[in-house]
Amino acid sequence: MAGLMDKAKEMVADKIAHMEKPTADLTDIDLRNVTRDSVGLKSDVLINNPYDHELPILEITYRLRCGDREITSGTVGSTGSVAANSNTSIEVGSDVAYSFLINLMRDIGADWDIDYDFDVGVKLKLPIIHSFTIPLHKKGTFKLPTLSDLF
């Protein structure tokens, strides 16, 4: 009897391991808006649902770093769900004060850009498994606005 249970567990584990899973992709960081006090940054997370039923999005966490400094981080709560057999795009964004960007001047240098690391975790509710987090990472360079961009 124990051998039969072990075979059943093995079969279920094998099926789950080879089951198609949801995927996500992250776009580069872009300007959302520029005000006198801050720069609004945004990135889109494109989530692909391969299943025949919708998947609720539990939360999206993000962290933007420049070198060893964290520029911004946060959590976007439940933003709805990903429709069955389709893609859904969710915007992740935050405002960063200019006073904080001035502290990053050593990285900005002569080319007026910031090298960044952007980490995002998309937590979905899956049947049987319950919650499933898709980790995303993007590394790139963000070009800061010039005075002509502001006026």
SS3 labels along 30-98: EEEEECCCEEEEEEEEEEEECCCCCEEEEEEEEEEEECCEEEEEEEECCCCEECCCEEEEEEEEEEEEH
Q: How many of the other CB atoms lie within 10 Å of CB of 128?
A: 7
User: What mean pLDDT is predicted for residues 56-81?
Assistant: 86
Q: What is the pLDDT of residue 15?
A: 62
* Mean of all residue pLDDT scores within the chain: 80
Q: What is the pLDDT of residue 150?
A: 58
Residue type, 18: H
- Summarised one tens digit per residue, pLDDT across range 51-62 is 888 989 999 999
Question: HSE-up of 20 (CA within 13 Å, CB side)?
Answer: 8
The DSSP code sequence of 121-134 is EEEEEETTTEEEEE
Residue 8 is assigned to a structural domain of this protein: no
pTM assigned to the model: 0.74
Q: What is the pLDDT of residue 93?
A: 85
Determine how β-strand 86-97 pairs with β-strand 38-49.
Answer: antiparallel
pLDDT grade for 18, boundaries at 50, 70 and 90: low
Residue 9 is assigned to a structural domain of this protein: no
Residue 5 is assigned to a structural domain of this protein: no
Residue 7 is assigned to a structural domain of this protein: no
Residue 63 is assigned to a structural domain of this protein: yes
pLDDT grade for 135, boundaries at 50, 70 and 90: very high
- Summarised one tens digit per residue, pLDDT across range 78-95 is 778 889 899 988 888 888
User: What mean pLDDT is predicted for residues 127-133?
Assistant: 79
Question: Any idea what DSSP says for residue 103?
Answer: T
Residue 14 is assigned to a structural domain of this protein: no
Q: Which strand (E) or helix (H) includes residue 6?
A: helix 2-17
User: Which is nearest to 55 in space by CA: 122, 109, 108, 143?
Assistant: 122
Higher pLDDT, 135 or 130: 135
pLDDT grade for 68, boundaries at 50, 70 and 90: confident
Q: What is the pLDDT of residue 125?
A: 87
Q: What is the pLDDT of residue 12?
A: 64
Residue 104 is assigned to a structural domain of this protein: yes
CATH code (residue 123): 2.60.40.1820
Give the count of domains, the chain.
1
pLDDT grade for 107, boundaries at 50, 70 and 90: low
CB 124, CB 55: distance < 8 Å: yes
118 lies in which domain range?
A: 22-150
Residue 70 is assigned to a structural domain of this protein: yes
